[in-house]
Amino acid sequence: MKLSIIVPAYNEEKYLGLTLEKISSALIELAGSSEIIVVNNESTDKTVEIAARYKAWIVNESIHNISRVRNAGAGSASGDVLVFIDADTLVPGRLFKNIADIMIDSRCHGGAVDVSYDSFERKWVRYYSMGWKFWGRLLNMKQGAAQFARVSAFKAINGYDEGIFMGEDIDFYWRLSKHAKQSDGYVKFIDDPKVVTSGRRFDKMSILKTLVLTHPIFIWSSRKRASAWKDWYENAVR
């Protein structure tokens, strides 16, 4: 079984090096073959240079839409299982082996990995994120910092929805879960080990903007409007 690790990246020189270092180390524990794909989303910093340093396959995508970026990586992958890791997310050493072991069962269509944040400079954000954890469990919402899918299942549901600019990861997990159920299969949520992702947006955006842009009602009502998500794309926090 071959794993394709796909990392979307837009001006991620600050985080990408350590992310790829952790990915490379974790892949050593994997018995099967693997590849690392970095999807460069028109970066103007040293993102491409860093990706090349870690011998990643570099795919270019000019449209700023995270669904499109992830799909571009999937379209260039040669693996049996696609693993999507955000550029500011650190994977534990045994994660890919865990995923490979899980995917040995052909009934497993894919899944997601639980996420913890490295730190929050503002204490209230810590409690706010705990609230999101609660709703995530209640509504089966799984973040896209680390998701994985069998290639056949990914193609069956047409990958990530490119008409969505935010919440595309939750939509993907819901559709993958539905497809698995209809196919007499299942998806797997890995809560141990967790991946560690950056809390940079929550520390640098204003309180009002944080509360609005992370509110489920706003996300749901604005998920298809690119203009609503400039702080995730054109004005992304770095």
Q: How far apart, in whole angstroms, are the C-alpha atoms of residue 181 and residue 199?
A: 33
DSSP codes joined into one string, 83-113: EEE-TTEEPPTTHHHHHHHHHTSTTEEEEEE
Average pLDDT over residues 127-146: 67
Mean pLDDT of the chain: 88
Show Cβ contacts of residue 183 under 8 Å, excluding neighbours closer than 6 positions. Answer: 109
Q: Evaluate whether 24 touches 56 at the Cβ level (below 8 Å).
A: no
- pLDDT at residue number 199: 67
pLDDT (tens digit per residue) in 103-117: 999 999 999 999 888
Between residues 128 and 174, the one the model is more confident about: 174
Buried/exposed code over 136-153 (b: 16+ C-beta within 10 A; e: otherwise): beeeebbbbbbbbbbbeb
Q: How far apart, in whole angstroms, are the C-alpha atoms of residue 44 and residue 178?
A: 39
Q: What's the pTM?
A: 0.88
CATH architecture entry for 3-121+142-199: Alpha-Beta Complex (3.90)
pLDDT (tens digit per residue) in 207-229: 666 667 676 777 777 877 877 77
Under the banding of pLDDT at 50, 70 and 90, the label for residue 63 is very high
Share of the chain above pLDDT 70, in %: 81
Strand order in the sheet with 34-40: 57-60, 34-40, 3-9, 81-85, 146-150, 108-117, 186-197, 89-90
Average pLDDT over residues 139-167: 89
